[in-house]
Each structure stands twice: as C-alpha cells, then as structure tokens.
Structure 1
Amino acid sequence: MYKMLIAEQEEEYIEIISEYTSQPAKGIEVVGYPKSGSEVLRLVSELTPDILIISVALQGISGLEVVRRLRKHNSEISIIMLSEYDYYDFIRESINYGVADYLLKPVKKNDLIHVLDRVLDELRQRDLFKEEMRTDKRIRSQIYEFADYSFIYSFLWNGKMDGEIKRYQSLFNLGNRGYVLNLEIVSLGAECVLSMEKDKSILYQTIKDILSDKHVCVVGPVIGNRIIIYISESTQEENYKEHIQLANKLCAEMKRCLNMEVKIGVGNTKKLEAIHDSYEEAIKSLRYKEKGNVIHVNDVLFNSASHNDYITVENKMLQSIKYGKDESLDLFSEILDMLKPLNIDARKNKLFELLVLACHEARMQGENEADNLNYYDFLREVENASWKEVEEKVYRHFEYIIKAIRTSRSDRKSDVVKEALQYINEHFQGELTLDDVSNYVGVTPQHFSKIFKEETGFNYVEWLTNLRIEKAKEYLMEGNKTIKEICYLVGHNDPNYFSRLFKKTVGKSPSEFIKLDKEGLSNSH
C-alpha cells in the first residue's frame, strides 16, 4: 500500500485523485490534505508518504520551496506538481529538484490519470528492484555463511587439509597462520529476541560484524551452545594481549547487541595446516571457564585426568548421547584428550569400548539406524590405522549415532500428535481451539491435551502461541507488511493484544523487533 499526500486546494483535482485512489487495485492510501507549505513539510516528516501531489500556490511557503527543502533530506518521494504558472524558470527548477511531472492548470483528467499511472508503475518497479537487491544480498550472505561452515567442518573437525588450503586462502583472503576461539553461549537475557534454533543466520552475521572490522574471520555453525571461530593472522608472532582483547570485545558486544552471556576459550596461533591443534586448545580452555569469561590456553595448567574424572566425563557423554545432544561431541573430544597419555593400542581399546556403549544407548532408545553398525568391520578398519585416522572414524560414527537417535526420537511421536501438528501448521491463521484440533484427530480434548504435552513438552496454547509468534517474526523480517496485517495473517483479531503478546513472548514489541532486524541488515551491508 502506497501512501499519498494531496497538497491541492481545488476540489476538481481532489475529486479526480480521490476517484483514482479509491480503486483497490491501485494500492494507494491518501494520508492527508495539507493546505500550507509548512504543514506539507510536517506531514512528510511524520507520515513518510510515497507520493506527493502539490500545488505551486500554497498558503505560506510556496510549493516549489517545499520541494526544494524536501529534496535536501528525501530523494525517494515521488512528486507531481500542479501549477498555474507557465514560466520556464519554474519548470526548469522543478525538473532540477527531480519532480516526476509538472502539470499546467487547467489539467485534463486523462492527463492527470496518465501521470498517476506512470508514477505508480515507477514506484512498483523501484520496489521490485529493491526486493531483488535484498534477495541478491541474502543469497550472497547465505553463500558466504555456507562457505564459512564448510571451512570449519573440513579443517577444524575433520582435519581434511590436503588440496584445500590454497582454495580457502584465496576465498577468504587468509594468511598462513591463525588461531581459534571457542565461544560458548552461557545464557540468554530476558531482552534477547533471538531463537537459538531459528535465528542462527542472525547470530552468525552479528559475530561477523563484530570481528570483521579489523580481522579476517571464519565463523562456524551453532552446535548445541557452541560456535567455533577462526581468526586469521598476518604476523608470525603470538600476540597474546591482542587475542585476549578481541575475545573480551566479542563477549561485551554479544552482551550489548544480543543480551547473550558468553564465555570464550582461546587457542594459540598455529600454521593453517595445523589449525586443528588451536581448536583443541580452545576446547580445553573452556573446561576452566570458572576462571572468567575469556580463558587463554596459556593461562591454564592441564593435569593428567584421574580415573574418576574420566568416568565422570564418560557418563556425561553417554547421557548426552541418550538424548541426541550436540554437546556429546564436545565431551567425546574431551575424552580423546584424556586418553593421550595412553599408548595407541590402549587408546583404540578405550574408543572401541566407548563406541559399544554409545550403540547400546542408541538401541535402548528403540530401533534405529545405529543397529546397522558392524563392529567386526570397524575393528578391521582401525587395526593398522594411525591415531589421527582412528579419531576421525570414531568421530564420524558418533555423529552417525547421534543423528540416528534424534531421528528415532522424532519418529516416536504418536500418529495423533503428528496429525494434530500438521493440522495446526495448516490452520493457525484462523480461530483454532483445542476442541477444534481434538475433534479433527478424533480424541477427547482431555486425552489430546495430555498426550500433546507429553510428546511436545508444551501445552496446546503455548505451542500455538509460539508458532504464531515465529510466523509473525518471519513476516516482520520480510519487511513488506504492516504490523496490523501480520496480526491478522497469524490468526489474531486484535492488533493491540497481538503486540502485547508478542512483547511478552519475544521481549520486544513488533516495532522494536523490526528496528533490530533493520539495524542487523544495515550493519551487514
């Protein structure tokens, strides 16, 4: 919907324009009929119209002077001037100020309509171009994000360096050395509007914005509550003080921008081909997070793990595997570090034992793909393998087991709840009560309420509210609908109630959320 101001006093022209704008297909809303030049300036500032139809002869400040002042601060508003003056200087000056057209009175109805059609078409073309540009930027941002994730997966976790270094150095403009930050999200403040599951790209871009002003960095995906960040270095020296300062800055900015409390482990600078060592150091550092928000590997002393320490971490890992949690991989890495004092055969034996225990936990969760693991084949594969190869194979098996457990837990939802969730997703835009959904799936409301809470962890109203709020956030981030329109699109009938509910759920009002998203996009470009 385009907004129009009509600064014209002759009823004949007001009627023509009103008749034109009353057509729904035009998508124009008249937001004011100012009579004086000063009133035009005030309303343009307050209402930000897209189209201004203005007469040269206004009360007080002339229409031409109004246009001159507007163009100092507003280059986008489309202006149509109506004038009794057939003066060359007037026409030339208005053209210099970028008016869409200068029409001499008396204006024929068809001429005015033709100009309005042209201006409206230009506005639509402009908005289409802007949307295409935004889409292009989003696509480019997604490509860079995917490339960052690929680097982290390949180099830090899988250690696959051969033939890849030069390509990534060229792509990211990386130096030959760098170090790793292991960022752990400790808590989300009450004012935090981000969802850890659904707003990962915003989190990724925020970290890039904080670090990229002076550093070349690669930011990994959110895994559980951890994010791995690689910082490229151009010097050969270990700059401990600068690394600590950068990590402290990141902690402070995450708190300020997103209201997130984070802790960061810092590894030493390594050659690019040995960056996995810096990653392991950053992981180790966070085991000592009680020392502060930023912990450098050089500030902690690693002692040999006791048997009790090992058993504690092993139990935590198996418990995490049971529920398919991402942190189980971090705990597995911690166990690998604990096993280093042992000889390679003893380490292999321990890893095989862990693999059997992990598969047992998977089978206890019900039938899943982890049942297909062939222990005999695995033993043959690692018999003569190096320790690095063994680590990689076992790590991949653990990833496979965790994925299988997640899939199994997801598939165990009852058919009734699955059918209900599908129905809710398809009908949340309208009035949708618990009775409506329970009738659809053919069970009593009491029984449905009980099994829905058991299998989703939410009661029906909480689930529907969260779904509608998440959909509203998506519409708000698209930026092409009003808050009122979004209110109706997500199944609410009262915009004031919707805004209160949004603020209660998200921590910010819809307008505040839009502002945060726009600031994020502006910073990213």
Structure 2
Amino acid sequence: MLKLMIVDDEQLEREGLQAILQSGIQGLTIEQALTFMPDLVLMDIKMPGISGLEAIELMKRTNPTAKFIMVTAFETFDYARQALKLGVSDYLLKPSKASEIVAVVRKVIEELLRERELLESIRQERQTLHRFMPLIESDVVTGLLYDHVQEIHIEEMLAMLGGDTTKEAFVMLVILGDCQPEAAYAAMKAKVRQLGCGWVGAMAGRQVPIVVFRQLGTTFRAQAASLVQQLLKTQQRMIGTDGFIGVGSPYPSLYDIRHSFREALLATADVTLPARHLLYMDLDVRGPQRHSHDMRRDEKDLVEWIRLGQWEELRASMNALVDAGERRGASLVQCGQSLLEHLWIVYRTAIELGADAERPMFSFQAGQYYQLRAEASCVLDSLIASLAAHRGKLEPDMIGQIKQYIIEHVKEEISLETIAQRVQLSPYYISKIFKEQLGINYIDFLTECRIDKAKSLMLDPQLSMKEITFEVGYNDPNYFSKVFKKVCGCSPSEYRKMVFR
C-alpha cells in the first residue's frame, strides 16, 4: 500500500484533493503527518512559515526515495526551475481538473512502483551473488592456477568478483598440519575475506592455494611477511603447529599467476624449516635458467606421458636432468632444485587427476650425484604408484556419471567440490575433463541442463513461471529470465507463448 501526503495551507484544497484521489486511485493511504514517511507528496508552494520548496528540501534529507508533485496557483519560471532542481516529478496548477490530477498522480505512482521493482530486483541479485560468491571464488582460482577453464568463463566470473586480469598478484600455498582440515579451511577463508586481500581456492588434500593481490605502497616482501604472520596466528589455533606456507613471486597478470603457484609449490619442498614459511625468491636457484618456452614444453611432455601411462619416459626425463647437471658441473642444490620442479609438475598433475599422491620431497641432503639420482627415482616411483593405482580405480563411464548426477540435481546448488565429493575425484580433474571431453565448463553444462528442464516444465500450463524458476535451481525469477534469454535468445514468457501458439 502506498502512502500519500497532501500539504496545503487551505483545508478546502486538502479535502478536495483527498476526495479526488481516493475515488480515482485505489490502494492509497492519505496522511497528513510528517512522521509517516510518505511515498508521494502533493505539495503547495506558498504557505505560511517555510515554503513548499523548502519543505521538500528538508523532507528529502530523511526520505530520499519519496516523490513530489507541486500543486500551486503560481505559474512562474523561477518556481518551476527550483522544483526541477529538487527533483520534483511533476507540476500541477490550481485549479486543475479532477481527471488531470488523477492522471498525473497515477503516472508518478507507476514510476515509483517501477523504481521499487528495480531496487528489489537488484537486491535479490546481490543476495544471489553473495550466496554463490564462495563457489565462484574457488572456481576462479582453480581456473587461473590450473588453466582448465575457458578464458571467456574466467572473464565472466572475474567480473562478478570485481577482479582485474591486469592486476599484479602472487600465490601463497598453505600446507595444513595436525588439525581439522575443514575447520582450518573455513578459518583461512574468513581471515582472507576479512583482510580483503585475495581469493582462496579449493582445498586439495591438505593444501590450500590463496591468490593475493599486490598492495600499493608496500613492498612484496613486507606484504607477504605480514600476511604470513596473520595466517600463522590462525595456524596456531586451527591449522596446526606443523603447517607450512610457501610463497610464489608476484606476476603482472592473473593469466600468469599459475607460474607463482608453481613457485609456491617449490617453496614448500622442505616443510621442516623453523620459520614455517619460505619465499620462492629466497631459494638457491642460481645457475643456468631455462627459458619459459622450454619449461612449457617440458611440462606439456610430462603431462602427456602421465595421461598415457608412459612411466619409462618420466623416469628417463628425470635421469636426463641429473646427467645434464653433472655434465655442466652444477651444484647438487641447483640440480636438486631442477629435479624437484619436475617432480612437482608430476605431483600437480597427479592431484588434478584425482590421485592420492604425496608431496615430493627429499628425505635427506644428497652428498653425491648418484645419491641424488636414487632419491629422485624413489620419489618418482611413489608418484607413479599413486597414478597407476588411481588409473585402475577409474570407472570407464566416469564422465557419464558426472553428467547424470548434474542432470538429476539441477534443482540444487552444485559446485565443483560437490561433484568431486560425489565421484571421489579432485575438483581440478573434473574441471579438466569437462573442458577436454565436453568442450565446455561444468557451469555451462549445468546451465544447459537447467534451461532444458525449464523448457520441458513450460509445457505444463498449470505451472507458473515462478514455480518453474525454483524447480530448476534458481531463487530469483529475474535472474532466471536473464540466463534464459542469454541462452535461448528470448525471455521465458516469449518462449512459452511460441510453444502454445
């Protein structure tokens, strides 16, 4: 119900307007008290005390959404100009016909209702976005670190998070210790959200990646040290006293952030350090550096060998690294660092594929090349055993199971983590196979399933559009309408009309 106030120093004018509006417009409550916060005010200009224009200015301070219509016998440009400056919706001259008064008030009421609908739609969209934000954040980090989400989807999700692909950022990798992992994960997400410094990715095993945005006015080392200390304070309560944090270097674009992630992984190679954290830039990585295209080529080869189960090629590549280091006289530290980088690629791929692999680390400091070769071979054998065991467990129609699960649960809020728990695979692996085998992101597949189900439900004339919205997993009819129009090129109502022609 809308509330309308009539402000006029003439009782006859007030009563006349009240009678006209109550008979001409239904649903109005007409009040004459300032404490009632009216939706619409009919205001006279010339009155004893303050003028109508001054009254509007005062009322707008406490009730900025109220609409005003000036009702006056003074037809002067100066009054009209001041009224427009105050945002008055319309201007009525005394005397006006009853039909003219009703028409003007009805027009302003329609404008008021449209604005209310728009504000309510915005409020509901914000609520929906706020509810899905943690899932979006986790999926964005997964896509950025593992490069398994198509660029267009990353762009869309970054827009929802307010992210900038050109913003400088780095990765911190938290290794959970003797703690409850779920509680630790929740504590970290709350802490990072409180600080407003980055995004927390999905937990894989006992590892949690955090994309941290560079802070203006402070050095990278100072920012990293501050955040590490704050997380370590949380760690003592939640993450466990034997947890560890590896920190990668900053990169100028989010599309390069996976390099920082790899560095953060390498920085956690030795989690026995008393400081409980290490920056990659503090590792001893002196010596000949490989070009980035060589590293990408090596990584591509390793991933392909793992996918095909070509374990001997993996072993040969590791032995070649040791041989090359020994030939050029590299230190054992440098050679060991190169080996660990290769092993981390194998480990990361194993985790993506859903294997239950252990983090690669050397159990002792090798004093000879043959010792380093034997230690690296032992770590690689452990990784290969995990990969081989996992390959043997995979169902032949695993992607079909995932698709069926999504189809049967379109009404629910489904995330990568939900699906991963269902089929006992990692979120990263699921994201990867969707892109490789279906050619689309799982979010798009879920959307397609929901839209297909909505089309089917629209064939039932007894179902309202609001009921259909809830049946296909959306909580806001306006948001559902936008998604439907984006996918189908027309609104749900237009589609339904075409069906029943």
Q: TM-score range, shorter-chain basis?
A: 0.3 to 0.5
Q: Decide which structure has the larger Cα Rg and report it.
A: 2
TM-score by length of 1: 0.42
